[in-house]
Chain A
Amino acid sequence: MNQAIENFKQIFAELQAHRALPALAGTPLAWLERERELAVEKWSVDGLPTRKLEAWKYTSVQAISDAEIVDAGGPDARALAELESVHESARMQVAVAAELVFVNGRFIPQWSTLPHIAGLHVLSLAAALRSDVPYVRNVLSAMRETFGSAAHKGAETAFAALNTSLFRDAAVVIAEDDCFVGSPIILTFIQSGTASSRVAPQRMTAVYPKVLAHFGRHSQGHVIENHIGPNGATYVSTSLSDLHLGDSSHVSYVKLQREGDHGFHVGTTRVFQARDSRLDSLQISLGAKLARHDLKVRLAAPGAEAVVDGLYIVRDHQHVDNHTAIEHAVGDTRSDQLYKGVLDDESRAVFNGRIWINQDAQRSNSSQLNNNLILSMKAEIDTKPELEIFADDVKAGHGATVGRLDPEHLFYFQSRAIDPASAVAMLAEGFAQEVVFRRGSAVVREALLPLVRQAVRGLKVSVR
Chain B
Amino acid sequence: MEKDMAQTLLEIRDLHASVEGKHVLKGLNLTIRPGEVHAIMGPNGSGKSTLSKVIAGHPAYEVTAGSVRYEINFQMRDLLEMEPDVRAKEGIFLAFQYPIEVPGVSNIAFLRTSFNAILKHQGSQELDETQFAEFVNKKLEIVKMDPRFLDRPVNVGFSGGEKKRNEILQMAVLSPRVAFLDETDSGLDIDALRIVADGVNRLRTKDNAIVLVTHYQRLLDYVVPDFVHVLADGRIVETGDKSLAVTLEARGYDWLVK
Q: How many chain A residues have a CB neighbour from B under 8 Å? A: 23
Which chain A residue has the least Cβ–Cβ distance from B176?
A: A417
Contact bitstring B82-116, A, C-beta under 8 A = 1, else 0: 01110111000110100110111100011001100
A416 touches B114 (CB 8 A): yes
Which candidate, A171-179, A200-208, A423-431, is the interface stretch facing chain B?
A: A423-431
- Cα distance A433–B89 when bound, in Å? 28
A residues 259-278 near B (Cβ < 8 Å) are: none
- Cα distance A203–B89 when bound, in Å? 51
Given known contacts A411-B58, A411-B84, A430-B153, is B89 in contact with A417 (CB within 8 Å)? yes
Given known contacts A407-B59, A409-B100, A430-B102, is B117 in contact with A418 (CB within 8 Å)? yes
Given known contacts A426-B109, A430-B153, is B104 in contact with A417 (CB within 8 Å)? no
Q: How far is the CB of A422 from chain B (nearest CB, A)?
A: 7
Which chain A residue has the least Cβ–Cβ distance from B60?
A: A407
Chain A interface, >50% SS class: helix
- Cα distance A419–B118 when bound, in Å? 11
Q: How far is the CB of A249 from chain B (nearest CB, A)?
A: 32
A430 touches B105 (CB 8 A): yes
Q: How far is the CB of A104 from chain B (nearest CB, A)?
A: 38
Q: How far is the CB of A418 from chain B (nearest CB, A)?
A: 6
A418 touches B113 (CB 8 A): yes
For B96, what are the chain A residues with a Cβ–Cβ distance below 8 Å? 412, 415
Given known contacts A415-B56, A416-B170, A419-B117, is B85 in contact with A427 (CB within 8 Å)? no
For B94, what are the chain A residues with a Cβ–Cβ distance below 8 Å? 415
For B174, what are the chain A residues with a Cβ–Cβ distance below 8 Å? 416-417
Is B234 interfacial (CB 8 A cutoff)? no
Which chain A residue has the least Cβ–Cβ distance from B109?
A: A426
B104 touches A422 (CB 8 A): no
A415 touches B88 (CB 8 A): yes
For B47, what are the chain A residues with a Cβ–Cβ distance below 8 Å? none
Contact bitstring A402-415, B, C-beta under 8 A = 1, else 0: 00001111011111
- Cα distance A420–B89 when bound, in Å? 13
Is B57 interfacial (CB 8 A cutoff)? yes
- Cα distance A409–B100 when bound, in Å? 7
Which chain B residue has the least Cβ–Cβ distance from A411?
A: B58
Which chain A residue has the least Cβ–Cβ distance from B104?
A: A430
B104 touches A429 (CB 8 A): yes
Is B144 interfacial (CB 8 A cutoff)? no
B85 touches A419 (CB 8 A): yes
Which chain A residue has the least Cβ–Cβ distance from B85?
A: A414
List residues of chain B with CB under 8 Å of any chain A CB: 56-60, 83-85, 87-89, 93-94, 96, 99-100, 102-105, 109-110, 113-114, 117-118, 121, 153, 170, 174
17 A-B interface contacts by CB (under 8 A): A407-B59, A411-B58, A411-B84, A414-B85, A415-B56, A415-B84, A415-B87, A415-B88, A415-B93, A415-B94, A417-B121, A418-B114, A422-B117, A426-B113, A430-B102, A430-B105, A464-B59
